[in-house]
Amino acid sequence: MFLEYAPEGSLLDLMNKYGGKIPERDVNCYTQMILEGLLDVHEKGFIHSDLKPSNILVFTPQHGTYLPILKIADFGLAKQQGAKDTRSRFRGTKYYMSPESIVGEVSGALDIWSLGCIVVEMITRRLPWDTHDQDDLRDKLLRGESPNIPEDMSKLGKSFLRECFTIDPNKR
């Protein structure tokens, strides 16, 4: 397998270049690019399982566009859709993991939750959770908590995040 060279680095690098919060109009475009990539991955029967800013590569803008192109990378934890994960009790990177990842359930909803966490981070420039303790985060997820939705987002943006953070993965 070959990977394209990403001259602009990762989404994490791009967020650092903005130097602060990314304007919501740009976040909307980036989110659409990530969703298109996830749709392609999910249609092929796979789940990424570790979606986070450092696993999204940034490419130079195409002619006629001002925003860079984003592409999903690092499929090291990818699983086939519907598979049960027996490896461990956690799937992915703690700040971006979904409630069902704790019990090893693997579906496309897992990636959608992670995308919501990424959107929160792009908008606020902070990690989606205020804890660094994995056990505390697990407990929050098991209690049905989700990352806070930024108050200064548009109504549509808040609605999108509420959908991403629906606890029941079958409704996400």
DSSP 29: H
pTM for this predicted structure = 0.92
Active site residues: 50
Say whether pLDDT at 38 is over 70.
Answer: yes
Protein fold of 11-167:
Transferase(Phosphotransferase); domain 1 (1.10.510)
Give the distance from CA 109 to its chain's centroid. Answer: 11
**C-alpha to C-alpha distance for 114 and 49, rounded to whole angstroms:** 8
pLDDT tens column, 162-171: 999 999 999 9
Give the start-to-end residue ranges of the domains of the chain.
Answer: 11-167
Say what the alpha-carbon torsion angle 107, 112, 114, 116 is, to the nearest 10 degrees: -160
